[in-house]
Amino acid sequence: MARDESEWQGWQSFGVPLRDDVLFALQQYASAYGIKMDGFENTDVDADLIREALDDCAKVIDRFPELGGTKEQPFTLRAREMPDTDFAETRKSAPFVISINASAFRSKERLESEYARLAEQNWFVHGTDYRSIIFHEFGHLYSFMHRLSGVRIMKKVSEIHHKKDVLQFICDNLSEYAATGSGEITAEAFSAYFGKKDPGQTVLTFIAECVKLECGKEG
């Protein structure tokens, strides 16, 4: 999940590493959800932020159980260093892994304010907050797993077929970031679907169409 670089002032410097007992408690919390944690040793992430992230992972997996992985390959929340322009990322080669930027997750206040600034600018879905970072990444995993084309689905939802007009519809109904690539459409739809009390009819219809395709029930 990349961020617009305008007005960016950087993350806070490294602080106090997680204590072993705090990390153990987080791992136990994750395990109760069937989630694995990886890469958090020697990080200074905010424990409350990680607990929230685990709650949000569980929320999505409860709705889409296939994203929870398997006994041999459980869903994993991973912490690692990455470019400052990323909050988190997913990869096709790691179908049950979401990696978060350890630097971004070291301060709830900083992460919250930076995300809010960009959502207000419509770079991310207006009305969502920093917790949609996790929801967005699950949208990528879901899209990878079911080989979805966000553009094709949005054309059906909007009943618009001219590319320029579809992109404007996406900007108006999701976000500018969603219009940067087909994969970002589904990711930002997940951001709105799980991150807003009222995600709007466009998002609800989009997710319904995704589920139809997943189940082989395309009309």
d(CA 190, CA 195): 8
**Total-model pTM:** 0.93
Please indicate, yes or no, if residue 123 is contained in any of the structural domains.
no
- pLDDT at residue number 216: 59
**For the segment 34-63, what is each residue's pLDDT rounded down to a tens digit?**
999 999 999 999 999 999 999 999 999 999
CATH code at position 51: 3.30.2410
What single-letter amino acid sits at 178? A
Residue 100 lies in a domain: yes
Round to whole Å and give the CA distance between 206 and 68.
22
Question: Is residue 217 situated within a structural domain?
Answer: no
Range of the domain at 99: 20-113
Say if 127 falls within a structural domain.
no
- Is residue 219 assigned to a domain? no
Q: Please check whether residue 203 lies inside any domain of the structure.
A: no
* Number of domains composing the chain: 1
Give 78-127 pLDDT, tens digit per residue: 999 998 889 999 999 999 999 999 999 999 999 999 999 999 999 999 99
